[in-house]
Amino acid sequence: MSKLSHIDSDNRPTMVDVSEKSLSERAAHAQSRLRLPPEVLAQVSGDEIATKKGPVFATAIIAGVMAAKRTHELIPFCHPLGLDSCKISIAIDADLAVIDCRCKVTHKTGVEMEALTGASVAALAVYDMLKALSHDIVISDTRLISKSGGKKDFRRGA
């Protein structure tokens, strides 16, 4: 059985010691989905929704990148990382807005939490900007799609 990485031998919460690990390239891809009701979908033009608050998806991308860079301030045991790359895209698929966040870093620890945070906060920003149109927007399926580097790689469905 696997042991939790953030619990010490006395069963207390702790930050993982990465001092003995070597630097390697790490990457992660996370995704969040928002189910958009018809009144919101009717506002989509091309690949954006324009509102009085500004362009929804462009603003959400900025919010997601900002959040990914500050993950260590939000999640207690995350190491501060200087991300080498954080790219967020948002696409409409039927009644869904699909947010993908891809992060890369060369470090001693991975970037899964940064990618998950970026996707999550981008989804929250979309909700915030569109809630005047409908409160029936549903944020769902925030999950890790893949990660590479470190002890083991992961790919959803593989």
Q: What amino acid positions are annotated as catalytic residues?
A: 128
Question: Cα(38)–Cα(72) distance, rounded to whole angstroms?
Answer: 37
Whether 37 contacts 139, CB under 8 Å: no
Among left, alpha and beta (phi > 0; psi -120 to 50; other), residue 5 is alpha
Beta bridge partners of 91: 98
Beta bridge partners of 69: none
- Residue 119's nearest CA partner among 140, 136, 133 is 140
